Structure 1
Amino acid sequence: MTGMRTAKIMTGLAIAGALATPASAAAVTAELVVKNYADIALAKYQDSLTTAKALEDSVDALIADPSAETLQAAKDAWLASRVPYQQTEAYRFGNAIVDDWEGRVNAWPLDEGLIDYVDGSYGTESDENNLYAANVIANEKVTINGEEVDATEITPEFLSGTLHEADEVEANVATGYHAIEFLLWGQDLNGTGEGAGSRPWTDFSTSECTNGHCDRRAEYLSAAADLLVSDLEEMVANWEEGGDARKEVTADPTAGLSTILTGMGSLSYGELAGERMKLGLLLHDPEEEHDCFSDNTDKSHLYDAVGIRNVYLGSYERIDGSVVSGPSVSDLVSVKDADLDAELKAKLQTTLDAMTVMSERADTVEAYDQMIGEGNEEGNAVVQAAIDGLVDQTRSIERIVALLELDAIEFEGSDSLDAPGAVFQ
């Protein structure tokens, strides 16, 4: 199923790329480019909301009638929801409103012992996190910042206002896609071996309950799914006409171009190539895998790369197959330096080709966490090729910043790329 989605989006990108260039590139202005950028943001977040609502419905169905089939349907809905959402991540790093909000929906990694039962190998305490194994599903009282907190009712308000990043610890991720992912799949205890999480459907059954507290587990899952929907509704509103994010990026078109390129470069380099990929490859550590419970990491990385490309081309294929397209950064660059525009387009394609190879390998040979395993030379090389593509395209993005005479932009960095030795200290 995931492989089919990959093929579909790559085909759609070829079409979208063809539609991305207006009749007269010379007539393209920064104002038109940032407006189209905002229009695409709205479409992406609308699609993310639509798929989150489908996930919410599937969670409701699972809770109403727990079975292997309804659990799988909820997993499938979660996987589908990641496709449009990951394409929004190129809107991070430059847009402050998105950055301030993003931790509520896509924060990772998480200390899953905060939420639910974990395997004994997980341990019971951490020097960095007093709530490392708090297991709020099993306990109606938890201690936060030295005070006892009533967790009798697990509501969206409790998750977002009390539990998420409790004790000011970033690993206390109580909300968003990855909290839901953990509740659907459970821990992946396979290391760099074959297999994802394997939570039984009976964990949500009140009549055939396994691992205890099945009613509270269902309550937590329902609250997290509801909260994801409301958070995405908020972001959709931010990009609608008159929304704060749209107003901010379009108020000064030149600054808006800097925002666009900051997002592209920072996601390409420090975040995706560095923190999400190279760090795990250096450490050969599956705990550094982005979608670590579901083994969906290869798809998440692929759609991040797709998102970077469609921001540059000013074109996005929606989940219904329609295309939102208009004036783009590519158009501005092509007028000033057609060779540089062609260079970045080629590099974006090279990265997507490498990501597609990685994704197809995940579908046919081994999962991403196996690819980064120590001693897996072939798998390591496949991941490294995608990293190399991301780093290389960032160099061209830097040149575009200079070409457009924008103020200096500092892209996000990563020790894994800039000072690999520091990773092992």
Structure 2
Amino acid sequence: MKVKSLLSRAVTATLFLASSSAFSADVNKQQVVEHYADLAHSVYSDALTTAQTLDKSIESFLSEPSAAKLEQVKQAWLASRVPYQQSEVFRFGNAVVDDWEGQLNAWPLDEGLIDYVNLDYQYELGNDGANANIIANEKLVIGSSTLNVKEITPELIANLNEVGGSEANVASGYHAIEFLLWGQDLNGTNAGAGARAYTDFVVGNECTNGHCDRRGDYLKAAAELLIQDLAWMEKQWSPEQTGNYREELLNDSADNGLRKMLFGMGSLSLGELAGERMKVALEANSTEDEHDCFSDNTHNSHYYNEQGIFNVYTGSYQRTDGSMFEGPSIFDLVAQKDQKAAQQIQIQFDSTLAQVGELVTEAEKNGQFFDQLIAAGNTQGNTLVNETIISLVAQTASIERAAKIVGIDSLSPDSADHEF
């Protein structure tokens, strides 16, 4: 996955500032909230479309497994992450998203719940399901419960999330699929991602590591569940549906809508991205706390989270077909009140997007992925991650400043109990 160069991002931001005046002259809060709902619908529509492409790729692979087809599935998974990661900015402020997202993106997970793992794999202490291995067993005994898992279906997988009361028992979503495609990353903080062989899905004498038919059934069912979940959320934001969350949001006051927008941006920037996804992993030098840990895609995952925050502030989103979706934005509201402040805040957003982009540059051009950057003793890598955290914290302060300018006081983004 590639991102724009730092220069092209800067040019894009400058062009955005120039073009925004077309909206800022007469934009009101209600228009901004309505465009936010439209933007969310566009993002979730793209997430659904790319998940459907992933599902088709999985079907093709399972019909005739090969190394080349497995690589195609992996590329489809990577592509599906691009819109989804940009959707996480709709969390926190919108309970309908927060209540739903765990089934799609929960992490870190004890992968031994799903399939075979290395004997020395690290799992959550006290997790009775950490080595359950659904794929190798038709019955599971977890704690005092005996579970029939003979038929692997989307419904079964959904019901197995947090089985035994452990949040580390993640059975569904992007990361379960990621693990099935890549396998464990056994390289620690050294170079390299997971390296599952395509023969793990070959039914018959060439099957490696056993239960290849059930492994394929699990992969297919997990992809089907992903599509079901995304289709439901796409409808929640669709202007063509009645009685959905979009209708609820737009029937509320515009100020409440703006608060949800800004709180979601600030909380993703501060507690989630700077805190849970970077600070935790850096301080513990822990690859177990890396976001896309099996595929080594974490740099892109972080980047597109930040892009999502940028999208909501600027009212812009580049769709997966390459088209630009633009409209009334928080930037416009700020510019109408204080043009100088609007430019200063935009500069901070540009700076933070570029800073998170440095993680991508380090991975794609210099071969240093996030799990290597957080390694103990990697002074340069640790510094880069820490500088990114600092920039995200500064961006959060700018989000709070923007909130005050447009009349939203005491925003208090969620810090996830982290101190910065």
Q: TM-score range by the shorter chain?
A: over 0.9
Amino acid at match of 2:94: N
Q: Would you say the 8 A contact 1:41–1:239 is kept in 2? A: yes
- CA displacement at 1:204 relative to structure 2: 0.3
- CA displacement at 1:338 relative to structure 2: 1.7
Q: Would you say the 8 A contact 1:354–1:386 is kept in 2? A: yes
1:178-201 CA distance string (max 9 Å, x none): 000000000001110010001100
Q: Would you say the 8 A contact 2:23–2:328 is kept in 1? A: no
Evaluate the alpha carbon distance shift between residue 215 and residue 91 of structure 1 in structure 2; reply closer, same or farther with a 3 A threshold: same
Matches within 5 A, 1:43-192: 43-122=42-121, 127-144=125-142, 146-160=144-158, 162-192=159-189
Q: 1-side partners of 2:265 and 2:59: how far apart? A: 36
1:245 match: 245
Evaluate the alpha carbon distance shift between residue 87 and residue 13 of structure 1 in structure 2; reply closer, same or farther with a 3 A threshold: farther
248-257 vs 409-418, which moves further: 409-418
DSSP 3-state at the match of 1:197? coil
Segments ≥4 residues shifted beyond 6 Å = 5-9
Q: 1-side partners of 2:130 and 2:54: how far apart? A: 28
Q: 1-side partners of 2:12 and 2:88: how far apart? A: 17
Matches within 5 A, 1:249-268: 249-251=249-251, 252-268=253-269
- CA displacement at 1:253 relative to structure 2: 1.0
2:397 match: 395
Q: 2-side partners of 1:388 and 1:135: how far apart? A: 40
In the alignment, structure 1 segments of 5+ residues that lack a partner are: 419-425
1:328 match: 329
Q: 2-side partners of 1:286 and 1:204: how far apart? A: 27
Evaluate the alpha carbon distance shift between residue 55 and residue 179 of structure 1 in structure 2; reply closer, same or farther with a 3 A threshold: same
Amino acid at match of 1:119: N
Amino acid at match of 2:187: N
DSSP 3-state at the match of 2:317? strand
Amino acid at match of 2:376: E
- CA displacement at 1:387 relative to structure 2: 1.2
2:284 match: 283
Length-normalised TM-score, structure 2? 0.94
Amino acid at match of 2:220: S
Q: Would you say the 8 A contact 1:66–1:202 is kept in 2? A: yes
**Correspondence 1:408 to 2:372:** no
In the alignment, structure 2 segments of 5+ residues that lack a partner are: none
Q: 2-side partners of 1:222 and 1:373: how far apart? A: 35
Query: In structure 2, which of residues 190, 193, 203 is the aligned counterpart of residue 193 of structure 1?
Result: 190
Q: 2-side partners of 1:295 and 1:3: how far apart? A: 14
Q: 2-side partners of 1:11 and 1:397: how far apart? A: 19
Q: Would you say the 8 A contact 1:20–1:326 is kept in 2? A: no
220-229 vs 166-175, which moves further: 166-175
- CA displacement at 1:65 relative to structure 2: 0.8
1:271 match: 272
- CA displacement at 1:155 relative to structure 2: 0.2
- CA displacement at 1:282 relative to structure 2: 1.0
- CA displacement at 1:245 relative to structure 2: 2.2
DSSP 3-state at the match of 1:260? helix
Evaluate the alpha carbon distance shift between residue 68 and residue 360 of structure 1 in structure 2; reply closer, same or farther with a 3 A threshold: same
Evaluate the alpha carbon distance shift between residue 380 and residue 126 of structure 1 in structure 2; reply closer, same or farther with a 3 A threshold: closer
Q: 1-side partners of 2:100 and 2:330: how far apart? A: 25
Evaluate the alpha carbon distance shift between residue 14 and residue 128 of structure 1 in structure 2; reply closer, same or farther with a 3 A threshold: same
Q: Would you say the 8 A contact 1:41–1:88 is kept in 2? A: yes
Q: 2-side partners of 1:143 and 1:92: how far apart? A: 34
Amino acid at match of 1:338: Q
- CA displacement at 1:410 relative to structure 2: 2.6
- CA displacement at 1:353 relative to structure 2: 1.1
DSSP 3-state at the match of 2:2? helix
DSSP 3-state at the match of 1:120? coil
**Correspondence 1:220 to 2:218:** yes
2:200 match: 203
384-393 vs 49-58, which moves further: 384-393
Amino acid at match of 2:90: Y
Amino acid at match of 1:87: Q
- CA displacement at 1:339 relative to structure 2: 2.2
Q: Would you say the 8 A contact 2:10–2:350 is kept in 1? A: no
Total equivalences in the alignment: 415
Q: 2-side partners of 1:284 and 1:133: how far apart? A: 24
Q: 1-side partners of 2:298 and 2:111: how far apart? A: 18
2:22 match: 23
Amino acid at match of 1:84: P
- CA displacement at 1:16 relative to structure 2: 7.6
Amino acid at match of 1:194: A
- CA displacement at 1:415 relative to structure 2: 4.3
1:254-286 CA distance string (max 9 Å, x none): 100000000110000000001100111111111
Q: 2-side partners of 1:79 and 1:399: how far apart? A: 35
Q: Would you say the 8 A contact 1:49–1:233 is kept in 2? A: yes
Evaluate the alpha carbon distance shift between residue 46 and residue 337 of structure 1 in structure 2; reply closer, same or farther with a 3 A threshold: same
1:312-337 CA distance string (max 9 Å, x none): 00011111111111110111111112
Matches within 5 A, 1:292-307: 292-307=293-308
Alpha-carbon RMSD? 2.0
Q: 1-side partners of 2:124 and 2:290: how far apart? A: 20
- CA displacement at 1:402 relative to structure 2: 2.0
1:372 match: 374
- CA displacement at 1:24 relative to structure 2: 5.1
- CA displacement at 1:401 relative to structure 2: 2.0
1:34 match: 33
1:70-107 CA distance string (max 9 Å, x none): 11000000000011111111111001101111101111
Length-normalised TM-score, structure 1? 0.93
1:354-375 CA distance string (max 9 Å, x none): 1222101101221110011111
